[in-house]
Amino acid sequence: MMTHLSRSRAVLAALGVTVALAGCGNSDEQEVRQWMKEVDAQARVAVPPLTPPKTFIPFAYASNDAIDPFNPNKLLVELAKAANRGGGVRPDMERRKELLESFPLDTVKMVGTLQKGGVIYALLQIDRSVYQVKPGQHVGQNFGLITSVTEGAVNIKEIVQDATGDWVERMSKLELQESKETTK
């Protein structure tokens, strides 16, 4: 029975190979090639033409009397203009700095006044130290000059740079700080 089954399988395999080889005949290939030629002849590819590139027109620098924008002398002219700005207000950079100019003005408190020889001195506290100042002395990091001292305030003229880089004067005031301690 085994041999009969193996023979049937062999016959079926041979039949399958024969059918497969018959499908690969030359006549079908000719039909496919004919169909491809027809489709290729009918297909029209429409590619739009490319636009021509724009012509470059170079810029003609016609003003020979003006300063060349790439000339280093133009920088010197602008630096000279910048030096003349500010209306003459500028700090004295050659002056020796005083001790109280190393502290920001917002850390300085006025805690009292003192009068010696007809001159009113302000008592300014920075951290735990107290300093005596009078008009004409400098305080703060913005070239602050003490213009006057009264019993209730110290008026200061500072020289600062604005947004354009010009030096301008700004008035500030340190007012007397009331003591937070209460007496019993």
Instruction: Kindly report, residue by residue over 62-99, the tens digit of the pLDDT.
Output: 776 776 777 777 777 777 776 666 556 788 889 999 99
Residue ranges per structural domain of the chain: 99-175
User: Pick from 127, 156, 153: which is nearest to 143 by CA?
Assistant: 156
Burial status of residue 172 (CB atoms within 10 A of its CB: 0-12, 13-18, 19 or more): middle
* Global confidence as pTM: 0.51
Q: What is the 3-state secondary structure (H, E, C) of 153-164?
A: EEEEEEEEECCC
CA 62 → CA 66, 110, 133, distances in Å?
9, 65, 63
Q: Per-residue pLDDT for the chain (184 aa), expressed as one digit of tens each?
A: 555 556 666 666 666 666 566 655 566 788 898 998 888 888 888 888 899 999 988 887 677 677 677 777 777 777 777 666 655 678 888 999 999 999 999 999 999 999 998 899 999 999 999 999 999 999 999 999 999 999 999 999 999 988 777 788 999 999 998 766 655 4
Tokens of 58: 């170079």
- What does the angle CA 113 – CA 115 – CA 121 come to, to the nearest 5 degrees? 50
Mark 93-117 as b/e (b = at least 16 C-beta within 10 Å): eeeeeeebbebebeebebeebeeee
Task: Answer for the pair 143, 95: CB distance below 8 angstroms, yes or no.
Answer: no
Residue 176's DSSP bridge partners are 110
CA 115 → CA 60, 75, 111, 150, distances in Å?
75, 54, 14, 10
State the CATH class of domain 99-175: mainly beta
Residue type present at position 111: V
**Residue in the block written with tokens 């502290």:** 103
Task: Answer for the pair 121, 132: CB distance below 8 angstroms, yes or no.
Answer: yes
